[in-house]
Every structure is written in structure tokens, then in C-alpha cells.
Amino acid sequence: PLAPRLPPGVVYRPGFFDAAAQAALLAEIRAGLTDAPFGRPEMPRTGKPFSVEMTNRGALGWVSDRSGYRYQPRHPVTGRPWPPIPDALLSLWRALAHYPHDPQACLVNLYRGNARMGLHQDRDEEDFDAPVLSVSLGDDCLFRIGGTARGGATTSLRLASGDVLVLGGESRLAFHGVDRVYPGTGTLLGEGGGRINLTLRRVTRPS
Ligand code: MD3
Ligand code: FE
């Protein structure tokens, strides 16, 4: 649908970042890949790999392996601290989050080929008062969001490069996922294409 009804608490800002700002953001993310390369996390217990590749920026990064999900200050393979969150993303948070502390984590998800993300809730953070901010780069995707109970009605939204979502209030614990990426719909990532999503989060309760 052209103007889907979004659940309460979701703010959608299509085209928030123009082409130049997207390119600058991507260059900053790429510059951090030496210290913090993409990896494919494993599901807790089973060790089954995610189809999405991940890395992080910021004081804390989200990781998953056989022992569970957690936030930690260093890359699990290089042992290096995660590179800093780009200034453009700190500015975005300060403008849109309506939350009086900066984000601590920026999860970088890379979708290539048939990568997708099943419906889930984000509940590994201590502070659900802070929203999650999402920035899409590269190919379009079909994003789906429902309510706070599994199995309820969902709304689908096609996200494009430069789009921003703010997930706050009631939507902070909404089930959500990425059903598919549309190859060749974005030019930003160039050779190989794909989609990158950046999510900004507050992890700990501010003291
Ligand atoms: C709704 N990422 O990293 S971003 C994730 O496109 C994640 O890579 C997806 O779900 C992606 O956890 C979706 C939009 C998003 C992010 C966080 C949310 C939607 C959300 C948290 C609560 C509710
Ligand atoms: Fe999520």
C-alpha cells in the first residue's frame, strides 16, 4: 500500500538522508571495517548462522554466538574496540530520539543475496524508554512490523536508501523483521549491491 498505517510510536522519515549524506555515511562505515569487519553471527544453542552479516560502531556492540546474545565493548574476532558512531548518526539521534542521552550502540546489518531477518523483538537492552533509530542504505527492502504480541496483525513498508525509522513508545517492543531485499533497486553500494541497515540504541540505563 502507498500509505500504510503505522503502529503507534513509529515515525517514518522517507528520504531523510540525501544521496551525498548517504555516500558520506557509507564511506565512514567502510572505513571502520578494518578494525571491525562484518561477520555472520550464530544463533544461540544451535550455532546456525544468520543470513545477515553484522558489525557494530560505538561503546557497545551486539553479538550473538552459541552462548547467547549480548552487548560487548570489543569485536569478537579482532579484539579491537568498535569504531565510534559516525557524527552524522549522533546528530540524527539528537534530532529525532527525544531522549536525553546519546546512543551507545550502532548495529550495522548487511543484507546480501537472499539475506532476511525473521520477525523478532529487540529486548537485549536495559532501557526500553529510549527508542531505536534505523537508517537504510542501498537496495530497497520489505520491512514488516506488528504489535507487541507474536502472531498479531502486521504492516509492511518498503524501505529505500536514506529512509529513517524511529521506533519508540509502544512500538519499541513490537515484533518486526525484513522479509526480503529487492536486488538492483539501489545504486549506493555499487558492485555486488545489497542493503545496509544501521540501528542506533541506548543499551544501559543512564546513571
Ligand atoms: C521495531 N533490523 O537490527 S530496522 C535489528 O532492517 C533489526 O536490519 C532490521 O530489526 C533491519 O534488530 C530492521 C528497523 C527496526 C529496528 C529496531 C526495531 C525496527 C524496530 C526495534 C523495535 C521495533
Ligand atoms: Fe530488530
CATH number of 10-201: 2.60.120.590
The H or E element spanning position 25 is: helix 19-31
pLDDT above 60: residue 182: yes
Give residue-wise pLDDT tens across range 136-151: 999 999 999 999 999 9
- Mutate which of 109, 119, 156, 158 for ligand 1? The one with the most ligand atoms within 8 Å of its CB, which is 109
> Is the beta carbon of 165 within 6 A of some atom in ligand 1?
yes
One-letter amino acid at 94 equals R
> Is the beta carbon of 132 within 6 A of some atom in ligand 1?
yes
- Please tell me the predicted confidence (pLDDT) of residue 1: 54
pLDDT above 60: residue 28: yes
User: Which atom of ligand 1 sits closest to the CA of residue 174?
Assistant: 23
Domain-by-domain residue ranges, the chain?
A: 10-201
Q: What angle do CA 45, 40, 105 make, to 5 degrees?
A: 95
The H or E element spanning position 91 is: helix 87-96
Give residue-wise pLDDT tens across range 30-78: 999 999 999 999 999 999 999 999 999 999 999 999 999 999 999 999 9
Q: pTM value?
A: 0.97
- Please tell me the predicted confidence (pLDDT) of residue 11: 97
Reference 134, options 104, 108, 152; nearest CA is: 108
d(CA 177, CA 146) in angstroms, rounded, equals 9
